[in-house]
């Protein structure tokens, strides 16, 4: 136990560029389609919602894109983040595997989300935008963008999924500290929100609905407001690659390299940010690391959804993309991993799964909390409900090593702490948490509503 626990980088070692996996994919990207015409969109269409600099990043095939100096300056408030060898967890599991985790919970917002919030706020500010709109599930994204907008002097409207707004008032308060305006979605502030409420006044909301509201407000603002998305899009995943790039350096310090790389995935940004640099090594340097995307059994787009063109939002205002989807009408059950409650998935991550370059696994809610408590009692840190999915898979892999005697190296991303989510742990200990299984028939019915393309 006297071996090294933490692998730290100095801020001078912080990555100076983001990695764009679009430069290295062994297949052509699928087109992004207009939600009404179902024809490929032009940058002009996207410019209603995004500044041109981010649109150019979205379609870029440059392998690396430089991180602007003002973004690096804000990153320094918490980056580089620590990388841990989980000596105590290994001992608790009695496994010959070496387990490491990257810890993104040291950011002021408590998660990895500021990694893209900060550049998005920066590029919007640079483009002369005065205000942003966004949605948030559990509140990680909303609080990260609130912090970023505050740093760059932008106003922000956050549409927060109602069930999270109620379950997680602390994250809402955090957004208020940073000066953002937060609304429980569905709201009566938008045409779409009003239509949802008319049909079901008790709607718990969903990420899809909240996206539609935030998009509507930006699209109807006549250019005054732009929209910011916390996951799914290429440029968002790219901004998160600072995580994996740091881990590559930290693994060199540890003189190790992973056999298994695991991250949880909702829209895909945490997964992409952690795993894409390792995919580059697989694609270019002949590494054969197994790369696992862990998702909730209650919102199983990668493991039970269809790889097809679908709308990114519920109101069919967002572009149509090819992705693993449960159907844009899917409203996931109210699991505590609110950040993973999304009907779709990043198109890149979907394509990688479709090409067998990434393996997808789903984990049930009770199993994730069991893994989380095992982890917290071993390592101290209490994880947010989202990364518990990665922890559960990592523990599974380590226990397989125990059976086989293999000394594999397993790494995962601990993308946020659970200090905002203690009510979920309370429910777990009280026996009040449930597993959810989405009926196959409902998935089949939702698939009938997919847009017919080509």
Which residue's CB is nearer to a second copy, number 2 or number 288?
Answer: 2
Is there binding between residue 69 and a second copy (CB under 8 A)?
yes
Residues between 82 and 111 that touch a second copy (CB under 8 A) = 84, 88, 106-110
Q: What element of type H or E holds 198?
A: helix 191-199
Choose which of 53, 60, 166, 176 interacts with a second copy (CB under 8 A). Answer: 176
Is there binding between residue 404 and a second copy (CB under 8 A)?
no
Identify which range of 168-176, 184-192, 209-217, 223-231 contacts a second copy by CB under 8 A: 168-176
Which residue's CB is nearer to a second copy, number 14 or number 399?
Answer: 14
Residue 68 neighbours by CB distance under 10 Å: 14
DSSP letter at 185 equals E
181-185, long-range: CB within 8 Å, 24+ apart, which pairs?
A: 181/155, 181/156, 181/157, 182/142, 182/158, 183/157, 183/158, 183/159, 184/160, 185/135, 185/159, 185/160, 185/161, 185/209, 185/210, 185/213
Is there binding between residue 77 and a second copy (CB under 8 A)?
yes
Draw the binding track, 406-445, toward a second copy (x: CB under 8 A; -: no contact): -----------x-xx-xx-xx--x----------------
Which residue's CB is nearer to a second copy, number 10 or number 288?
Answer: 10
Residue 446 neighbours by CB distance under 10 Å: 21
In whole angstroms, what is the distance from residue 392 CA to residue 207 CA?
24
Q: Check if the beta carbon of residue 339 is closer than 8 Å to that of residue 263.
A: no
Is there binding between residue 155 and a second copy (CB under 8 A)?
no
Q: Nearest approach, Cβ of 419 to a second copy (angstroms)? A: 4
In whole angstroms, what is the distance from residue 76 CA to residue 73 CA?
5
Is there binding between residue 178 and a second copy (CB under 8 A)?
yes
Is there binding between residue 179 and a second copy (CB under 8 A)?
yes
Which residue's CB is nearer to a second copy, number 147 or number 390?
Answer: 147
Nearest one of 167, 101, 161, 106 to 371, comparing CA atoms: 101
> Tokens representing 233?
């899009």
Instruction: Give how far Cα 153 sits from Cα of 49, 121, 148, 227, 384, Å.
Output: 19, 9, 9, 16, 29
Which residue's CB is nearer to a second copy, number 117 or number 401?
Answer: 117
Is there binding between residue 10 and a second copy (CB under 8 A)?
yes
Is there binding between residue 197 and a second copy (CB under 8 A)?
no
- Applying CB under 8 A, the site for a second copy has a residue count of 49
Residues between 340 and 399 that touch a second copy (CB under 8 A) = 373, 376-377, 379-382
Nearest one of 299, 97, 94 to 208, comparing CA atoms: 299
Choose which of 73, 126, 442, 444 interacts with a second copy (CB under 8 A). Answer: 73
Is there binding between residue 284 and a second copy (CB under 8 A)?
no
Which residue's CB is nearer to a second copy, number 292 or number 335?
Answer: 335
Q: Nearest-5° angle of CA 172, CA 175, CA 177?
A: 115
Binding site for a second copy (CB under 8 A): 1-2, 4-6, 8, 10-11, 69-70, 73-74, 76-78, 84, 88, 106-110, 147, 150-151, 169-171, 173-174, 176-179, 373, 376-377, 379-382, 417, 419-420, 422-423, 425-426, 429
């Amino acid at each position: 136990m006297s071996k090294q626990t933490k692998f730290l980088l100095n801020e001078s070692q912080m990555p100076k560029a983001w990695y764009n996996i679009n430069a290295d994919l062994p297949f052509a990207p699928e087109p992004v389609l207009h939600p009404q015409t179902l024809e490929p969109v032009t940058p002009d269409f996207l410019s209603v919602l995004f500044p041109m600099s981010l649109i150019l990043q979205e379609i870029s095939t440059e392998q690396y894109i430089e991180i602007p100096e003002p973004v690096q300056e804000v990153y320094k408030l918490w980056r580089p983040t620590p990388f841990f060898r989980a000596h105590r967890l290994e001992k608790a599991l009695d496994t010959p595997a070496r387990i490491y985790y990257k810890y993104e919970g040291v950011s002021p917002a408590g998660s990895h989300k500021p990694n893209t919030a900060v550049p998005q706020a920066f590029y919007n500010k640079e483009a002369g935008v005065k205000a942003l709109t966004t949605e948030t599930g559990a509140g990680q994204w909303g609080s990260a963008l609130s912090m970023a907008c505050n740093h760059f002097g932008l106003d922000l409207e956050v549409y927060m999924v109602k069930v999270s707004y109620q379950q997680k008032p602390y994250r809402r308060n955090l957004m208020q500290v940073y000066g953002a305006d937060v609304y429980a979605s569905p709201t009566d502030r938008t045409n779409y929100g009003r239509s949802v409420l008319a049909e079901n006044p008790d709607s718990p909301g969903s990420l899809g609905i909240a996206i539609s509201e935030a998009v509507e407000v930006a699209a109807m603002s006549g250019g005054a407001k732009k929209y910011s998305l916390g996951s799914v899009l290429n440029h968002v995943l790219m901004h998160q690659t600072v995580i994996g790039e740091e881990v590559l350096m930290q693994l060199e310090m540890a003189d190790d390299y992973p056999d298994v790389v695991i991250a949880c995935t909702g829209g895909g940004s945490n997964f992409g940010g952690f795993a894409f640099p390792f995919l580059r090594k697989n694609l270019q340097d002949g590494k054969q690391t197994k790369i696992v995307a862990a998702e909730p059994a209650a919102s199983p787009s990668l493991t039970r959804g269809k790889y097809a063109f679908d709308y990114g939002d519920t109101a069919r205002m967002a572009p149509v993309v090819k992705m693993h989807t449960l159907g844009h009408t899917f409203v996931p059950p109210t699991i505590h991993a609110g950040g993973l409650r999304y009907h779709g998935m990043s198109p890149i991550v979907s394509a990688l799964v479709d090409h067998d370059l990434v393996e997808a696994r789903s984990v049930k809610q009770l199993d994730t909390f069991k893994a989380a408590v095992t982890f917290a009692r071993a390592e101290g840190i209490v994880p947010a409900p989202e990364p518990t999915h990665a922890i559960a898979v990592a523990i599974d892999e380590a226990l397989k090593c125990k059976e086989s005697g293999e000394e594999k190296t397993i790494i995962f991303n601990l993308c946020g702490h659970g200090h905002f989510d203690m009510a979920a742990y309370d429910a777990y200990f009280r026996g009040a948490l449930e597993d959810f299984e989405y009926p196959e028939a409902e998935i089949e019915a939702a698939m009938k509503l997919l847009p017919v393309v080509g």
